[in-house]
């Protein structure tokens, strides 16, 4: 995991236009293009194929049709309808019925009431069809409103949904019991966003300590906890604490991201644990992709090398 200063540098990189242009142009072009390591495709069909391959390895899946921070109600409505279509295709395909989405994709920052309505429209279709919907957690500016929206929906009686909490944020020490009191499912992550020191731990050691502490609480009283990390040390702690509490491997799950630590995904499954892979797809992949680069500097080197190769190949084709 990167410290906060490095995450800041990647944040800046995302704002450099030529980088964004090149990445967007070459990132998904071919099956071997660099963004495809993390993104399962631009279409639902491609993502379903990827999900099927993941399931064939004995893993569970959750599908994320990428998108965030939409700037108009029309775009929020379009994103909501796209989720209807994704759900229909998932049902037809027979893969697992599990979706992850972001509230700013459904208009949270444009109009909160409309976002609640959009979520209700999604849940009204999702619940009878047996889907579970996980609301991802975004940057700290959205934490409170995301939790309040979740509580509103819970109050309206929706139950096939869960939320995400980030160990890096100080406030999660209070947010975790708040969500656990509802009896709702929590996915615990370390946190992917660059946050100021006024609201979040900055060093890897402090974030890991918080993650370990919160995992223990979650396993002790959570409803089917999701331990979402690629950190083998955290897996080992979770396994040890689950065993201490007599929690069988069917009472919680590990979650990992598509394209990250496939070795760990496989070894956890081999040891009898449930492992869900988060499968992101769609045309709006750039912000998600940048967060993955930000987590590991080595990823940047391989992306820059691939970009140069792609440009050279294009130049060669133009000469011919
Ligand atoms: P850490 O960063 O310490 O990494 C541990 C090891 O994992 C590394 O040493 C490396 O081997 C490997 N690794 C981690 N990231 C890698 C990468 N990008 N490429 C290659 N190897 C990598 N965040 C958030 O803020 N809101 C959310 O809703 C979600 N949702 C979510 C769902 C799921 C299923 C997962 C697994 C993660 C998230 N996250 C998230 C992301 C999370 O907050 C965090 O940024 C990443 O998981 C990376 O942190 P780790 O816990 O893996 O630990």
Domain layout of the chain by residue ranges: 1-39+285-320, 40-284
Q: Which of 190, 206, 259 to mutate to test the pocket of ligand 1 (most atoms within 8 A of CB)?
A: 190
Query: Per-residue confidence at 12, pLDDT binned at 50, 70, 90?
Result: low
Spacing, Cα 231 to ligand 1 middle (Å) = 8
Give the pLDDT confidence score for residue 308 in this predicted structure. 75
Of the residues 64, 134, 136, 274, which is catalytic? 136
3-state DSSP helix/strand/coil % of the chain, to nearest 5 = 55, 15, 30
Spacing, Cα 113 to ligand 1 middle (Å) = 31
Least confident of 6-10, 56-60, 80-84, 311-315: 6-10
Query: Per-residue confidence at 171, pLDDT binned at 50, 70, 90?
Result: very high
Cβ-Cβ contacts under 8 Å for 190 (sequence gap 6 or more): 1, 166, 167, 168, 207, 208, 211, 229, 231
Q: Which of 188, 230, 301 to mutate to test the pocket of ligand 1 (most atoms within 8 A of CB)?
A: 230
Please state the rounded mean pLDDT for residues 196-201.
98
**Which CATH number applies to 40-284?**
3.20.20.220
Give the pLDDT confidence score for residue 164 in this predicted structure. 98
187 is known as an active-site residue: yes
Mean pLDDT of the chain: 92
Residue 131 to residue 133: CA distance in whole angstroms: 6
Question: What phi and psi, each to the nearest 5 degrees, are found at residue 135?
Answer: -90, 115
Q: Which residue has the higher pLDDT, 27 or 107?
A: 107
Give the pLDDT confidence score for residue 15 in this predicted structure. 66
Residue 192 CB–ligand 1 contact under 6 Å: yes
Question: What phi and psi, each to the nearest 5 degrees, are found at residue 104?
Answer: -70, -15
CA angle 35, 36, 38 (to 5 degrees): 75
Q: Which of 69, 229, 302 to mutate to test the pocket of ligand 1 (most atoms within 8 A of CB)?
A: 229
Give the pLDDT confidence score for residue 7 in this predicted structure. 64
Give the pLDDT confidence score for residue 143 in this predicted structure. 98
| Closest ligand 1 atom number to CA of residue 2 | 2
Spacing, Cα 96 to ligand 1 middle (Å) = 22
Please state the rounded mean pLDDT for residues 107-126.
98
Residue holding tokens 């998932």? 90
Residue holding tokens 């969500």? 179
Please state the rounded mean pLDDT for residues 201-227.
97
Give the pLDDT confidence score for residue 199 in this predicted structure. 98
Give the pLDDT confidence score for residue 301 in this predicted structure. 77
Spacing, Cα 295 to ligand 1 middle (Å) = 7
Give the pLDDT confidence score for residue 257 in this predicted structure. 98
Spacing, Cα 229 to ligand 1 middle (Å) = 5
Query: Per-residue confidence at 303, pLDDT binned at 50, 70, 90?
Result: confident
Query: Per-residue confidence at 315, pLDDT binned at 50, 70, 90?
Result: confident
Give the pLDDT confidence score for residue 79 in this predicted structure. 97
Residue 189 CB–ligand 1 contact under 6 Å: yes
pLDDT(39) > 90: yes
Query: Per-residue confidence at 298, pLDDT binned at 50, 70, 90?
Result: confident
| Closest ligand 1 atom number to CA of residue 295 | 18
pLDDT(102) > 70: yes
Residue 44 to residue 188: CA distance in whole angstroms: 27
Query: Per-residue confidence at 5, pLDDT binned at 50, 70, 90?
Result: low
Give the pLDDT confidence score for residue 220 in this predicted structure. 96
In contact, 253 and 227? CB cutoff 8 Å:
yes
Model confidence, pTM = 0.93
Give the pLDDT confidence score for residue 17 in this predicted structure. 72
Strand 226-228 with 185-189, pairing:
parallel
Give the pLDDT confidence score for residue 32 in this predicted structure. 74
Please state the rounded mean pLDDT for residues 208-232.
97
Please state the rounded mean pLDDT for residues 226-238.
98
**Among 250, 249, 254, residue whose Cα is nearest residue 278:** 254
Give the pLDDT confidence score for residue 11 in this predicted structure. 66
Q: Nearest C-alpha to atom 30 of ligand 1 is from which residue? A: 136
Report CA 234 to chain centroid distance, whole Å: 18
Query: Per-residue confidence at 192, pLDDT binned at 50, 70, 90?
Result: very high
Give the pLDDT confidence score for residue 235 in this predicted structure. 98
pLDDT(314) > 80: no
Spacing, Cα 190 to ligand 1 middle (Å) = 7
136 is known as an active-site residue: yes
């Amino acid at each position: 995991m990167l410290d906060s200063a490095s995450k800041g540098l990647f944040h800046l990189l995302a704002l450099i236009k030529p980088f964004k242009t090149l990445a967007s142009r070459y990132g998904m072009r071919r099956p071997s293009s660099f963004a495809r390591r993390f993104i399962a495709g631009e279409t639902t069909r491609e993502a379903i194929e990827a999900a099927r391959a993941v399931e064939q390895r004995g893993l569970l899946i959750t599908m994320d049709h990428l998108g965030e921070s939409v700037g108009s109600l029309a775009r929020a409505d379009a994103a909501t309808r796209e989720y209807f279509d994704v759900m229909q295709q998932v049902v037809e395909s027979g893969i697992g019925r599990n979706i992850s989405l972001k509230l700013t994709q459904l208009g949270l920052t444009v109009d909160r009431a409309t976002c609640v309505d959009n979520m209700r429209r999604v849940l009204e279709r999702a619940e009878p069809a047996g889907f579970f919907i996980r609301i991802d957690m975004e940057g700290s500016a959205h934490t409170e409103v995301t939790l309040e929206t979740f509580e509103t929906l819970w109050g309206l009686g929706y139950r096939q949904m869960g939320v995400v909490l980030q160990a890096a944020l100080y406030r999660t020490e209070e947010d975790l019991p708040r969500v656990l009191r509802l009896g709702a499912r929590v996915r615990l992550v370390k946190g992917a966003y660059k946050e100021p020191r006024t609201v979040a731990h900055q060093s890897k050691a402090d974030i890991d300590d918080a993650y370990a502490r919160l995992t223990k609480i979650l396993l002790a009283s959570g409803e089917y906890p999701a331990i979402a990390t690629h950190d083998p040390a955290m897996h080992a702690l979770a396994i040890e604490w689950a065993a201490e509490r007599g929690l069988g491997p069917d009472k919680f799950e590990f979650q990992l991201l598509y394209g990250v630590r496939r070795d760990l995904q496989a070894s956890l499954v081999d040891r009898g644990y449930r492992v869900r892979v988060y499968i992101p797809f769609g045309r709006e992949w750039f912000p998600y992709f940048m967060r993955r680069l930000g987590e590991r500097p080595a990823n940047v080197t391989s992306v820059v090398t691939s970009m140069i190769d792609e440009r050279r190949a294009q130049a060669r084709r133009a000469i011919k």
